[in-house]
A and B are shown apart, each in its own frame.
Chain A
């Protein structure tokens, strides 16, 4: 595709339910990031994938959060047993991820509301 695609655009879920967010990066981009952004706040790093290297999961806030990426393609972010504080916009970005080609291309995000 032409850009980074995230789905769904909006998700309303009940507290305690699991949710899965999807990110389709730009083809050929080896690096992929997930960020969380609460209303009016900055970007909170969650996880980083780079090619076949082990992902950097240091930003995941709890063991309810997990993410996977198959090779250099789609990534899914899963939140189990959602809590109200999980309400935020979840942003995905990808980049070529080598040399000077680290410019990040962002998707439009998934707005998650936990009620």
Chain B
């Protein structure tokens, strides 16, 4: 069953603004990963944060992890039209297997 759960809301922002989305999970994890999906095809891995990490950066992406609240957030800074996509979190519960959430649609308006 899927336990990684993003806030199930569509986000619409202006180009240049920051976009934040959240993901919660239910039990202890080994790591949490974020993926992006364009045009309803294959997902692309963005970033992985381990359970002993609190924050990680990759380019304009910033991921935080709060294991006490069992939640993670993905921040996209200075958004661009090309960031328009669906974003998924996936949790690794330590059994070498990922559980994907339902995704969060982000629309960046030029």
State which of B43, B88, B96, B98 has its C-beta within 8 Å of the C-beta of A98.
B96
Q: Does A89 contact B (CB under 8 A)?
A: yes
- What is the CA–CA distance of A95 and B98 in the complex, to the nearest angstrom? 10
Contacting residue for B96 out of A31, A107, A108, CB 8 A: A31
Q: Beta-carbon contacts of B88-101 to A below 8 Å, as 1s and 0s?
A: 10101000111111
Interface flag for A106 (CB, 8 Å) = yes
7 tightest A-B CB contacts, nearest first: A42-B102, A106-B42, A42-B103, A106-B43, A102-B92, A108-B42, A43-B100
Whether B42 pairs with A43 at a CB distance below 8 angstroms is no
| B interface, over-half SS | strand
Residue B20 at the chain A interface, CB threshold 8 Å: no
A103 to B100 CA separation, bound complex (whole angstroms): 12
List B contacts of A31 (CB < 8 A).
96-97
Binding site for B on A (CB under 8 A): 4, 31, 33, 35, 37, 39, 41-43, 45, 48, 50, 58, 89, 91, 93, 95, 97-100, 102-109
Q: How far is the CA of A98 from the CA of B31 in the complex (A)?
A: 12
Query: Is B31's CB under 8 angstroms from A100's CB?
Result: yes
**Docked-complex contact B98 and A104, CB < 8 angstroms:** yes
Closest to B31 in A: A100
Q: B residues within 8 A CB of A35?
A: 100
